[in-house]
Amino acid sequence: AFAALWSPLRDRPGAMACMLARGLRHSAPRASRRLGASGRPLHAGAAAVGARAAASLSLPVVDIAPFMEGAPADTAARARSARALDAACQDAGFFYLVGHGASEGEILDLHRVAKEFFALPTARKEAIALSSQPASGRGYQRLGENVTQGRRDWHEAIDFYAEPTEREVDLQALSNPPASAAAVELERLRPFVHGRNLWPESPRDFHGVTSAHFARMAGVGRALMECMASALELPQGHFGPLVDRSFWCARVIGYPPLQDAPSGGGPVDASCGEHTDYGCWTILAQDDTPGALEAIMSDGTWTTVEPVPGAFVVNLGDMLSVWTQRRFAATPHRVRQTRRDRYRTSVAFFFEPNFDAVIHPLQNCALRGAAAASNADFELSTEPLRRAMRGGGLVYGEHLFAKVSGNFKFVA
């Protein structure tokens, strides 16, 4: 059943505390691997980041260029990228992405408009406050309004979503198995699914810069789905019908120093607490603030995901765990921005399935032998996710709402 209340999310707060167990781990061929400082493999595309930067990376690097729209048909290049993606998703669940087509100037502009917006007086930022239309899930959230695992996060943000038409989302499909939502639950979803984004008037080029970036990232998300299909030995276009109306989300996020969080109003332990993401791929543009983003590795240790010029950071969402029977698993991560001399910005684009997409575990030869999920693995997750990991399937929209309920508290 759906949660009764919509509570906005994301960088993304409020996800499961436990790390999803890993499935099969197939290493890339030795000839295709190079090691970073931690001994982890650096795959295809490391050269594009720059030799000095790549030498210090603790995460894999994947070059998505061969799968981008308009790229030359190069079977060998696609195979290399697919092998790199497969290894990265099994090894870390986090990787650096190059070959995405965004210029350094575009990314710098993105952070410029973000920093200019967050520097505005509070009253001007709250002209687009999410609290004025909470059912839509869109708009500006003040510092401390996001909550992860019952604790306030010390960041502010603007949330944006796809704006599908009535014809582009079949809400009635959620009344059928596997979701079986009641009519009253469908009505609670309607203002969120068909809500409208709120855009700030200042800076004047905010809308143009960010919307262009979101459009580019949607293309990157589609390319990642094609690359994953190749990695899993599926036909080209296999995932297309499930993501062709992607219910994407984007967050423009500002992180002041964590030490500045006030002691009143409840505990604040992190800029964004430990969580996993909900859909397919999170494509993150970080500014150059070091030491803030952290991810947990398969051996249980935390590693810092440092900014790398020209590269986005990508991590996996819950739907990849379902499709691949945990061969690819969503990786818990957190943010702790403790640099007193910095105000960190990041722009996260969440490439998601269609809201009404039915997600089932894949059944193909590349996934034979993947580990079966136990109830303990998902005891802090959602009922739709537990059902899907047992083979019963879920509708993406029901999982999204089950995850975000209770993860938001408006500041008085």
What is residue 142's predicted lDDT score, i.e. its pLDDT? 95
What distance in Å separates the CA atoms of residue 281 and residue 315, rounded to the nearest whole number?
Answer: 6
Q: What is the pLDDT of residue 263?
A: 74
Question: Which tokens sit at 173?
Answer: 């499909």
Check: CB of residue 166 under 8 Å from CB of residue 194: yes
Specify the higher pLDDT residue, 379 or 108.
108
C-beta of residue 373 within 8 angstroms of C-beta of residue 388: no
Residue from 57, 63, 59 nearest 78 by CA = 63
On the question of a cis peptide bond just before residue 203, with omega within 30 degrees of 0, the verdict is yes
**What is the three-state SS of 309-337?**
CCCEEEEEEHHHHHHCCCCCCCCCEEECC
CA dist list (Å): 84 to 181, 182, 185, 359: 39, 43, 42, 25
Are 66 and 74 in contact by the 8 Å Cβ rule? The answer is yes
Residue 10 has pLDDT above 90, yes or no: no
pLDDT at 300: 85
Structure tokens at 290: 């070091």
Question: Does residue 350 surpass a pLDDT of 70?
Answer: yes
**Total residue length of the chain:** 412
Mean pLDDT to the nearest integer, 96-103 = 97
User: Of the segments 43-47, 126-130, 149-153, which one has the largest average pLDDT value?
Assistant: 126-130
- Band of the pLDDT at 266, cuts 50, 70, 90? low
**Alpha-carbon span 254 to 158, nearest angstrom:** 9
The pLDDT of residue 25 is: 27
Answer yes or no: is pLDDT of 45 > 50.
no
- Going by C-alpha positions, the residue among 109, 123, 160 that lies closest to residue 139 is 160
Distance (Å, whole) CA 405 – CA 412: 19
What local confidence, expressed as pLDDT, does residue 119 receive? 98
- The model's pTM is 0.85
**DSSP per-residue letters across 328-386:** S-PPPEEE----TT--EEEEEEEE--BTT-EE----SGGGTTPPPP-GGGGTTS-HHHH
Distance CA 337, CA 321 (A): 29
Strands 61-63 and 94-98: parallel
Q: Which of 110-114, 155-159, 191-195, 366-370 bottoms out in mean pLDDT, i.e. has the lowest?
A: 366-370
Three-state SS sequence of 18-51: CCCCCCCCCCCCHHHCEECCCCCEECCCHHHHCH
* pLDDT tens track for 357-399: 999 999 875 676 555 443 334 334 688 998 998 888 999 999 9
Q: What is the pLDDT of residues 178-203, one digit of tens each?
A: 999 999 889 989 999 999 999 999 99
pLDDT-derived band at 404, boundaries 50, 70, 90: low
**pLDDT tens-digit series, residues 204-260:** 999 999 999 999 999 999 999 999 999 999 999 999 999 999 999 999 999 999 998
Preceding amide of 178 cis, omega within 30: yes
